[in-house]
Amino acid sequence: MGNGVREGPVEFQRDVEPITARIPAEDNQEKKKVLNSLMSGALAGAVAKTAVAPLDRTKIMFQVSSKRFSAKEAYRLIYHTYLNEGFWSLLWRGNSATMVRVIPYAAIQFCAHEEYKQILGNYYGFQGKALTPFPRFIAGSLAGTTAAMVTYPLDMVRARMAVTPKEMYSSIVHVFIRISREEGLKTLYRGFTPTILGVIPYAGLSFFTYETLKKVHAEHSGRAQPSPPERLLFGACAGLIGQSASYPLDVVRRRMQTAGVLGHTYSSILLTMQDIVREEGLVRGLYKGLSMNWVKGPIAVGISFTTFDLTQILLRKLQHGPALDR
């Protein structure tokens, strides 16, 4: 142009290229992270639920009946079920529905928790650092709520299969068909409200306790990562606290889920609670089976958290080498 200024897009193009080249790489890393969380969560849920399947089914059968719970009665129920339905039915009746629900539930819950931690970390300015207590609780509650909303009908089906004889429902699909035909599709979401109200403290306190114990351990031991037995112990504490806080709502949702096949009618959470307390008492009704849950819950949650963490570490080592740990 005659003014001595050199024109041309070459330098500008060189400056832009590194930025545009980084975007696909960052997208791929985020996709790998989400996929790793989904896979680790799915495995964690499957392993944990399989380990406690007989205790879980026994707990549900007590929750939906008016029988008093005791260790002696639990043993009689397990033995009676074994004589009438056989060993494999005792262990796995309703477990196919449990796996169909638990695998997506755990995958979504753990993956959502990782994402919510990142979102809340960015919002509160804790990028790459441990969240403070309140955001830590919120991340767990949101993760549990997200997973419950997506997978609830499968939980309903699993509860029905756990408390009915083999002749009534032959498969998961059969449960869906009969409920839809005889009781209506909305029945698949019966007990949804107490489920969500129970999941908020349960998931919130479970994730909060586990993450807090890992943080305290790192600060006092000088080790960045706890050992597998320590992870199991932290998870067990998390399960004990979370399930104890939300247990009455767990009893209520099971009653509402199975009302159609057990001859009861429960129209709301409060009326269900009133009926249970009137017929069975406050502690014996709303906390029925809690002592069994204190055995089952910590084992399941401890296995779940530990399996998730160790699987995450393994997948990251396979992808990036041994230098990266969770």
**In the predicted model, what is the mean pLDDT of residues 234-242?**
95
pLDDT > 70: percent of the chain: 82
Listed ranges 86-100, 249-263, 306-320; the one with the highest mean pLDDT = 306-320
Does residue 13 have a pLDDT over 80? Answer: no
Q: Is residue 64 a contact partner of residue 272, using CB atoms and an 8 Å limit?
A: no
In one letter, which amino acid is 252?
V
Q: Is residue 136 a contact partner of residue 211, using CB atoms and an 8 Å limit?
A: yes
What is the C-alpha to C-alpha distance for residues 198 and 205, in angstroms, rounded to an integer?
11
Residue 197 DSSP SS3: helix
Residue for token pair 């080790």: 223
Angle ∠(74,75,79) on CA atoms, nearest 5: 120
pLDDT at 66: 67
pLDDT at 300: 93
What is the C-alpha to C-alpha distance for residues 321 and 122, in angstroms, rounded to an integer?
27
183 contacts: CB under 8 Å, gap ≥ 6: 260
**In the predicted model, what is the mean pLDDT of residues 149-156?**
87
266 contacts: CB under 8 Å, gap ≥ 6: 255, 256, 259, 272, 275
Residue for token pair 């306190």: 205
Does residue 86 have a pLDDT over 60? Answer: yes
What is the C-alpha to C-alpha distance for residues 272 and 45, in angstroms, rounded to an integer?
30
Least confident stretch, 65-69, 111-115, 189-193, 242-246 = 65-69
Give 109's DSSP letter: H
Does residue 278 have a pLDDT over 70? Answer: yes
pLDDT at 211: 94
Angle ∠(259,262,265) on CA atoms, nearest 5: 40
Q: How confident is the model at residue 16 (pLDDT cuts 50, 70, 90)?
A: very low
Residue 8 structure tokens:
């041309």
Predicted confidence (pLDDT) per residue in 73-85, tens digit = 777 777 777 777 7
pLDDT at 240: 94
Does residue 14 have a pLDDT over 50? Answer: no
Q: Where are the beta strands (DSSP E) in the chain?
A: none
Domains in the chain, CATH or no CATH each? 36-320 (1.50.40.10)
Listed ranges 75-79, 112-116, 267-271; the one with the highest mean pLDDT = 112-116
Alpha helices in the chain (DSSP H): 10-51, 53-63, 71-85, 87-92, 95-124, 133-163, 172-182, 192-221, 228-262, 269-280, 282-286, 290-320
pLDDT at 184: 85
Within 10 Å of residue 219's Cβ, how many Cβ atoms?
9
Does residue 17 have a pLDDT over 60? Answer: no
Q: Is residue 120 a contact partner of residue 132, using CB atoms and an 8 Å limit?
A: no
Does residue 145 have a pLDDT over 50? Answer: yes
Give 326's DSSP letter: -
Does residue 139 have a pLDDT over 90? Answer: yes
pLDDT at 321: 62
* CA contacts within 13 A on the Cβ side of 204: 16
* CA contacts within 13 A on the Cβ side of 16: 5
Predicted confidence (pLDDT) per residue in 177-207, tens digit = 888 888 888 888 888 888 899 999 999 999 9
Residue 53 structure tokens:
């399947």
pLDDT at 87: 66
pLDDT at 266: 74
Taking the CA atoms of residue 191, residue 196, residue 202 and residue 204 in that order, the dihedral angle to the nearest 10 degrees is 180
Residue for token pair 């320590």: 230
Q: What is the mean pLDDT of the chain?
A: 82
**In the predicted model, what is the mean pLDDT of residues 293-297?**
84
Angle ∠(310,312,316) on CA atoms, nearest 5: 120
What is the C-alpha to C-alpha distance for residues 188 and 167, in angstroms, rounded to an integer?
20
What is the C-alpha to C-alpha distance for residues 135 and 221, in angstroms, rounded to an integer?
24
Least confident stretch, 31-35, 122-126, 245-249, 313-317 = 122-126
pLDDT at 91: 58
